[in-house]
């Protein structure tokens, strides 16, 4: 799991192997999973969540999930209480911005390549976790509405 803080937003990047036994259709399982995430954030990242949060969950079969936590308001009356409103984006579009075109060309046939505004992007159709970890060293993930917009305007290249 990788954690990125951006103002009042926390973004969690979670590999698919860490969620393979989580059934996101079962609310009880999801609640238990988020309790574990909250404990991990507190213990390993020194991030204590309190108050009201909007949570956007983007899932992708190749990568895993990206979770955005937006703090909506503090809960000044009661400590250690977290209220969460979750929204799921199942089978979200994840694209990967790559700076090195030659590196992208060496990735094989399991990707589709795109060019948009002087940057290279690709979608990954299939990857094992070793290939994925190597790939993530040389790229960054674009997801949600931004990924959809880029793909709709990008030129597909060979």
Q: Which long-range contacts (CB under 8 A, 24 or more apart) does 40-43 make?
A: 40/1, 41/3, 41/10
Return the higher-pLDDT residue of 39 and 107: 39
Nearest to 118 by CA among 101, 106, 102, 135: 101
* pLDDT bracket for residue 153 (50, 70, 90): very high
* Lowest model confidence (mean pLDDT) among 10-14, 102-106, 148-152: 102-106
CA distance 12 to 1: 7
Residue 29: count of CB within 10 angstroms of its CB: 13
Domain ranges of the chain: 2-89, 94-157
Residues 107-142 pLDDT 10s: 777 889 999 999 999 998 887 766 777 778 888 899
């Amino acid at each position: 799991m990788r954690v990125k803080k951006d103002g009042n937003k926390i973004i969690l990047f979670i590999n698919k192997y860490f969620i393979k036994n989580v059934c996101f259709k079962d609310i009880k399982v999801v609640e238990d999973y988020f309790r574990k995430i909250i404990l991990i954030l507190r213990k390993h990242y020194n991030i204590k969540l309190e108050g009201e949060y909007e949570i956007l969950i983007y899932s992708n079969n190749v990568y895993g999930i990206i979770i955005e936590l937006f703090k909506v308001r503090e809960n000044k009356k009661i400590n250690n209480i977290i209220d969460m409103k979750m929204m799921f984006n199942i089978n979200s579009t994840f694209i990967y911005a790559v700076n090195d075109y030659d590196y992208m060309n060496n990735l094989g046939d399991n990707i589709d390549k795109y060019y948009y505004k002087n940057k290279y992007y690709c979608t990954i159709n299939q990857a094992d976790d070793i290939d994925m970890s190597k790939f993530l060293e040389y790229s960054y993930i674009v997801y949600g509405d931004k990924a959809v917009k880029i793909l709709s305007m990008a030129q597909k290249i060979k």
